[in-house]
Amino acid sequence: MEACSCLPCSSHRSSLRGWAARGPSSSPCVATWPSPWATFSPAGLGAAPLWSAQSTYLTIMGNTHAKKAGKHGKDVVNQYFGIFFLVFQSSGVWGNLISSLVFGQTPSQEALPEEQLMSCGASDCLMATTTTNSTQRPSQQLVYTLLGIYTGSGVLAVLMIAAFLKPIRDVQQESEGEKKSPPFWSTLLSTFKLYRDKRLCLLILLPLYSGLQQGFLSSEYTRSYVTCALGIQFVGYVMICFSATNALCSVLYGKVSQYTGRVVLYALGTVTHLSCMIALLLWRPGADQLAVFFVFSGLWGMADAVWQTQNNALYGVLFEKSKEAAFANYRLWEALGYVIAFGYSTFLCVRVKLYILLGVLSLTMVAYGLVECVESKNPIRPHAAGQANQAEDEEIETKM
């Protein structure tokens, strides 16, 4: 198995996504990996239940702590998600740093022709798939070194969870008393029955946009802006800026949300992303504008922290009695956003993709605004809706 140099120059998450969207044929290397879908499909199957489980776990833990401390559940849940995404996004810093240092041992940069710079940025329509600013293919030893580091980190994480994570059933027993777990089919049906709630139908645009904008950053920005103008050796460092800003803003938003409310944070994220998209449409990247690449990634991370923390907290608060079903739907639509972003990545111009993001973000905020209006008129509705869903689930369980 021979590795391509353009694969791991970002963190293992973002670089793999971007490379999969381009496909091996777009790589400047002759040798390629086997089909990436054979690797990504099992990873996706494993990530789906993990994401739903962690969101449910944090929501239950936050509400339990809020009851003991006499605080508002939504404020504590926001703080919990802020801390979680601080740790999670910091993995992008270390992952990008490790990959950049490992593969930076064999750097090689060529002069960028003016013709290539003219096709960078929003003007990139993938007319020419080979670039001249790539690095040399790393040695197999470096590839296996990086894979060994990532594998060891994953094994260590599993051992730490097994040893130190408190079982969720213990938290439920302490707060609500022991309850019989519903059968699998009841939980599965409740996931689809939740669409009867009009709020969920309006809110599905939030995770959909979250997946679209993350897909754009992982694939289009790193390829059509950073790699095209600076060279692939800068991708990891630019993504470090994104991850660091995202991590710091995540914990910050978790703290300040109890004072500002989530509407202000959503407005901040919307204005930031809209400004970035308009600027990316107008900007012609060049090698002499190094700082600008980091500014865009930092601003994108600042806005992405809003979607990651507030979206999860919002679902946990509005659908408190149906957390598992709500977060399952959330991850479904976020994954669909990734699929759509990478699906049209190879045949649409970057300019068109930015217009799509602008349109989806606008619709998302309109739908979110409607939900906030409904919630302001029915402040106790989340609990009532949750109780209704719980009663329906119990009825299904009895029949089964």
pLDDT tens profile 359-377: 999 999 999 999 999 888 8
Identify the residue with better confidence: 11 or 181.
Answer: 181
Of 298, 297, 270, 254, the closest CA to residue 365 belongs to 270
Query: What DSSP string runs through 224-292?
Result: IIIIHHT-GGGHHHHHHHHHHHHHHHHHHHHHHHHHH-HHHHHHHHHHHHHHHHHHHHH----TT-HHH
- The tens digit of pLDDT for each residue in 230-241 reads 887 788 899 999
Largest CA distance in the chain: 71
State the pLDDT confidence band at 93, using cuts at 50, 70 and 90.
confident
Mean pLDDT of 256-262: 87
Who's near 389: CB < 8 A, 6+ residues apart?
Answer: 190, 193, 194, 197, 321, 322, 325
Distance CA 72, CA 53 (A): 22
Q: Residue for token digits 């990996």?
A: 33
- pLDDT score recorded for residue 369: 93
User: Looking at the predicted structure, is the pLDDT value of residue 289 above 80?
Assistant: yes
Who's near 396: CB < 8 A, 6+ residues apart?
Answer: 185, 186, 189, 190
Query: What DSSP string runs through 62-88?
Result: HHHHHHHHT--HHHHHHHHHHHHHHHH
What letter would DSSP give residue 6?
Answer: T
Cα-trace Rg, the chain? 22
Q: Which two tokens stand for residue 66?
A: 């809020």
Distance CA 219, CA 214 (A): 9
- pLDDT score recorded for residue 130: 45
State the pLDDT confidence band at 172, using cuts at 50, 70 and 90.
very low
- pLDDT score recorded for residue 270: 96
- The tens digit of pLDDT for each residue in 332-342 reads 899 899 899 98
Percent with pLDDT over 70 in the chain: 69
Distance CA 265, CA 213 (A): 17
- pLDDT score recorded for residue 382: 44
Q: Residue for token digits 């107008």?
A: 282
Percent with pLDDT over 90 in the chain: 26
Residue 378: φ, ψ to 5°: -130, 75
Distance CA 164, CA 168 (A): 12
Mean pLDDT of 216-235: 88
Who's near 206: CB < 8 A, 6+ residues apart?
Answer: 307, 311, 314, 364, 367, 368
- pLDDT score recorded for residue 186: 63
Angle subtended by helix axes 262-282 and 290-318, to nearest 10 = 150
Of 79, 73, 80, the closest CA to residue 54 belongs to 80
Tally of CB atoms within 10 A around 366: 11
- The tens digit of pLDDT for each residue in 21-79 reads 333 333 333 333 444 444 555 555 666 667 667 777 777 787 777 778 777 777 778 78
- The tens digit of pLDDT for each residue in 299-333 reads 999 999 999 989 988 888 888 777 778 888 888 89
